[in-house]
Amino acid sequence: MADKKIVDVVGKILEESKKYDRKFKQNIDVVINLKNVDLKIPNNRVDEEILLPNGRGSETKVALFASGELALKSKKHVDLLIKPEEIEDLSSDKKAFKKIVDSHHFFIAEAPLMPTIGKTLGTILGPRGKMPKPVPPNADVSGLVKNLRNTVQLRSKGNKTFHTLAGNEDMSIEDISVNIGAIIKRLEGVLERGRMNIGSVHIKTTMGPSERII
């Protein structure tokens, strides 16, 4: 059951979005402002992945570093397969690899490849919060990929103001509201003083005005 205040605000921003003839499907963005948190201390920074109860409502691309059997059985589940022999080429063409990183939301990798990936491509993946999740060579990645396609990142870096995704305007008010509630609950759980460290939370459609919910 979604919080009534969140439901009311989501309903308001969706109604507002109907006034404009957009040529694309707008996302629902959650904008968070922290307070009384020293983000110069790395342990105070927010860096979470949240599996949204009702999904993202938008395309999520997942890339896999793998070889052998894992590559063969996983290829159909991911958007991009990167084989070990391609890693060196990508490390020498960082511009091309940056395009790949920017166009894919999540990366996973066969565990034995992680040291090589970290050494050759970590300087691009790391700062973007996209270091691969390691999986065993005999893993069934279908379930992991399915979850990642419904996952969002909640990442502050060194900024007290940051944002994440809660769905899109084609989703129901209830589904969007439940997603927002899940994001806030996780945020409260990782902050030292919980709700007391949240200065404000606003939600908005991609092109619309924001409305405060906290």
- Residue 70 and residue 130 share a domain: yes
The owner of tokens 């924001």 is 210
- Residue 71 and residue 129 share a domain: yes
Assign residue 17 the CATH number of its domain: 3.30.190.20
- Tens-level pLDDT at each residue, the chain (214 residues): 789 999 999 999 999 888 777 778 899 999 999 999 999 999 999 999 999 999 999 889 999 999 999 999 999 999 999 999 999 999 999 999 999 999 999 999 999 999 999 999 999 999 999 999 999 998 999 999 999 999 999 999 999 999 999 999 999 999 999 999 999 999 999 999 999 999 999 999 998 899 999 9
Cβ(52)–Cβ(179) under 8 Å?
Answer: yes
pLDDT at 99: 97
CA 117/CA 121 separation, integer angstroms = 5
Count how many domains the chain has. Answer: 2
Cβ(26)–Cβ(168) under 8 Å?
Answer: yes
- Residue 159 and residue 103 share a domain: no
Q: What is the pTM of this model?
A: 0.93
- Residue 131 and residue 73 share a domain: yes
- Domain of residue 89, residue span: 62-148
Where is the domain boundary, 119, 148, 177? Answer: 148
Cβ(99)–Cβ(80) under 8 Å?
Answer: no
SS3 137: coil
- Residue 191 and residue 173 share a domain: yes
Sheet holding 198-205, edge to edge: 161-168, 27-34, 198-205, 211-212
CA 134/CA 157 separation, integer angstroms = 22
pLDDT at 143: 95
Q: What is the mean pLDDT of the chain?
A: 95
- Residue 201 and residue 138 share a domain: no
- Residue 175 and residue 110 share a domain: no
- Residue 108 and residue 77 share a domain: yes
- Residue 66 and residue 91 share a domain: yes
Assign residue 84 the CATH number of its domain: 3.40.50.790
Which residues have CB under 8 Å from 85's CB, separation 6+?
Answer: none
Tens digit of each residue's pLDDT (9 = 90 or more) over 63-102: 999 999 999 999 999 999 999 999 999 999 999 999 999 9
